[in-house]
Chain A
């Protein structure tokens, strides 16, 4: 029983990170029907920015996180403007390649600048447990992560449904030509999508490594991205709610299904991929997805 409870909590807190990264992926996918393979590295880099701001510049942790989010948003906006916008949004291959290039480059830069030893990361949530029951315990961290995704999801929903830029964003994702015909400037709108995505991703990594258990290092998101894309695809690449559901699902599969089915622990990644494949076989657009992703 204690074990089960603990596993659920593990699953939730891991899943929360996947969910945040997945939401970042979804933001970009909604706008461009494109997967940003560099999203994980964007987020990792943002994480380092936060670390520098808080541990080396001495900002209070949450201020640091927010500034870090803004910085990575701006970086992403610049990257969108310089590397993404010049290409025809309908032709995906060059764009996928650009993001793969970014994946390699950003990871390398982080390794060069911050080396590969694990770095301590400031705690964002009160340490200790909300309650303890034998070896089972619900940590403030787990609660914190859940609250964070709730806030982010709420924030994004408001942003998309209640603001003008959000309206423009949804219009562009719905029909590019008609959007231009009502006076929406498509470029900046997509740029906005990239910026938001980067900010959310950065928050995701910050929350992930803010766990007392984890540290920050350049490789932190290399497999994390695989889990995140699995989560996003599981939920349907264009649904924010789906991303959350997918993220938590993948997290729980890892922490509960794997051990209880007696799957060797080293296969948890395999399990995640297998689940994804199964779901897609029966629902090719994911659980909550609407888009039929045709071309790449």
Chain B
């Protein structure tokens, strides 16, 4: 976790800081280099980083880590450079002496991507022996990426002391990377290095091996070529796994968007073209929740989605009930008219949101537990996609259980199967209608919370899902939640396997055409209900 990491880094930094204090200042290339930070020139900054990092000066680490965090202040007029600590106290970067305050004319030393890479490389060799495990791992990895010869000695030093296995692996990989590019390394060392990197077996190993150049001994070049070959073939297998995962992930998004529709369309037979707008309302609810949290209770930000889910359900559900009572109930048995009226409704809702929240995208942040990714074998799984998949399946299961075990679920099924009979048994059918529609809309609202994490929160959000959702429900078979599940995942996976072959646009067209043809073959979808009841 980044926050955690930086906190630990700071502790480490402070301890170094205290050591630096005790040392007397000495003049020389280090001071000159520090002064270069004040030149407002990227090349000078780059040079200064190199000199400072390799100076061996105890101030090197505080300076460079301050540079990374934007806490290195430089005064272009006096050429003085200051390090502002995380506690707000500042020192003179050249001498290490504390200063009362940083002059107003000083501003943070600016970085660009090239400099960030230099900073990473410099920090890498400086933090190889940090007490923090994460910092060490990151350091080893950035040394691996930069594989500069100067880092060999620190890496070997660290390797000797390291006890943690994963850091040790990372360090030996870093060492191997350096050796591979070191012109005076022996052939044996290089061959060993190739083997180490081959064992790593990922894209970065491939990158490193393809980059070793032509001035290598023949045996090394050969070993590298065979390593590349074997890594590539294992990656090819992984890419199929990856496509399958992406398909599942896309399928979960489709399912989430379609699940509410499976209720309103599948169970009630209501064509709700404003379904997408219910999703949008859910997303905007998330936005409002986050706004309130951001301004009032910033500490709760990580829980914002948990708060938004029930709220989105209630808001979208309530709007759904209002829509059912005011419009849809007059149109039962007239599916085509319902379609038109709800389309009109979707225009109104979109424009209403546009008027209230403005036409531009609104920012909905990812809580920390939904940011980032982890590696599973050779594929990257992002947390937000994983959580959405889990969340979707949870919503699906809860819905199934609800339909099966609760009184409302029972009443809903009764009304769907035989309205007149249900009414004569004392079920308030109109109340059930309203609640069913509210349920479908509420679930669409919940979908909006999840979709706000991966898509735009704009008035057009819903429109981009409506056609896909209908395709899923129709493909899966109307009136069958399991059909919707299977339909969504089938379409998701098919799409993701088509995309690398046909490209995103043609892939999408192909899917649409396939669905149209499929409907001809099975007009009632994958899991159609049979029998006389369906025909009526």
Tell me whether A and B are bound partners.
no
